[in-house]
Amino acid sequence: MSRGGGKGPSLKDKLDGNELDLSLCDLTEVPVRELAALPKATVLDLSCNNLISLPSDFCSLMHLVKLDLSKNRLQQLPLDFGRLVNLQHLDLLNNRLVTLPVSFAQLKNLKWLDLKDNPLDPVLAKVAGDCLDEKQCKQAAVKVLQHMKAIQSEQDRQRQRKLQAEREMEKKREAEQRAKEAQERELRKREKAEEKERRRREYDAQKAAKQEVEKKAKKENVQTRKPASSPRPPQPPRHKHSWSRSVLRVLLFALLCVLCTLAACKLTELQRQPLCISVNTLYEDVVAALQNHKTLQNLLQQNSQQ
């Protein structure tokens, strides 16, 4: 095994039963692959090396029961360090650790812990206390696990509260989105109704204008046709013409009656009747007047000729 790499065929030679001692090897990284090939090595000593960090795949060494990482330069442990669920004994003496990962609370089998000589957070340092004897180291394991479980629970609660807040925010956003969509639908519906009403008014206006034009054109056509029929002479009213004929008929009938009466009074035996005597006298007077009138006309005509 070469320094700094932890690699070489002699790794198995260091295995003593279930213990593998890699201390004082000047390691700067952990030979995880080779260690994973040795599941019997449940006790691993990596103390007094130059380890600054542990690779993430180190947590796959779940067969480890006892782990010594004391007197290195570790600044932090992997976030999933809690995967080492079989770990019972952990020595982190004299490193540069300030905090522990929250997954540390999952080390439910941990019974011994040493965190002395680390620049721990004051709260964590107070919880861990000293590890000067077996009893104190066991108490440190119990107290630190309880502390990390409390931190994990608090983080879980915070995570749940955050998740709940995010869900409520998402619901609020969805409700706002639904309200916005409903408002937009209502706006589109109102705009559509207004557009329909506008188009209906335009249609009515166009229809009214068309009817007005047709009415005006019809009126102009009527006015244009009237002069063509005006040269025809006006026809006398039929009722007036009929009235004239009726009067003429009555006069003719009366004249006929007079002639018949006069003939009867002159030519028949009725001439001695009083009525006929009056008629004959009237007739003779009329004839005499006409003769006088004719004589007067002749005299006037002669005087005018002289």
Write out pLDDT tens, residues 251-294. Answer: 888 778 777 777 777 677 666 777 777 777 877 787 777 777 76
Which region among 103-117, 223-237, 286-300 has the lowest average model confidence (pLDDT)?
Answer: 223-237
Query: Is the pLDDT reported for residue 105 higher than 80?
Result: yes
The predicted structure's pLDDT at residue 151: 93
- Residue 252's pLDDT is 82
Output 110 or 296, whichever has higher pLDDT. Answer: 110
- The rounded percent of the chain whose pLDDT value lies above 70 is 85
Q: What is the mean pLDDT of residues 217-240?
A: 64
Q: Is 7's pLDDT higher than 50?
A: no
- Do 60 and 84 meet the contact criterion of CB atoms below 8 Å apart? no
Residue 9 pLDDT > 70, yes or no?
no
Task: Map the chain to HEC letters.
Answer: CCCCCCCCHHHHHHEECCEEECCCCCCCCCCHHHHHCCCCCCEEECCCCCCCCCCHHHHHCCCCCEEECCCCCCCCCCCCHHHCCCCCEEECCCCCCCCCCHHHHHCCCCCEEECCCCCCCHHHHHHHCCCCCHHHHHHHHHHHHHHHHHHHHHHHHHHHHHHHHHHHHHHHHHHHHHHHHHHHHHHHHHHHHHHHHHHHHHHHHHHHHHHHHHHHHHHHHHHHHHHHHCCCCCCCCHHHHHHHHHHHHHHHHHHHHHHHHHHHHHHCHHHHCHHHHHHHHHHHHHHHHHHHHHHHHHHHHHHHHC
Average pLDDT, whole number, for the chain?
85
Confidence of residue 31 (pLDDT cuts 50, 70, 90): very high
Residue with more model confidence, 298 or 60:
60
Domains of the chain by start residue, with CATH: 11-155 (3.80.10.10), 273-305 (no CATH)
Residue 118 is predicted with a pLDDT of 96
Would you state the structure tokens that stand for residue 70, as one six-digit string? 């004391």
Render pLDDT for 33-86 as a digit per residue (tens, 0 to 9).
Answer: 999 999 999 999 999 999 999 998 999 999 999 999 999 999 999 999 999 999
The pLDDT confidence band at residue 127, using thresholds 50, 70 and 90, is very high
Rounded mean pLDDT, 177-188? 90
For residue 11, the model assigns a pLDDT of 79
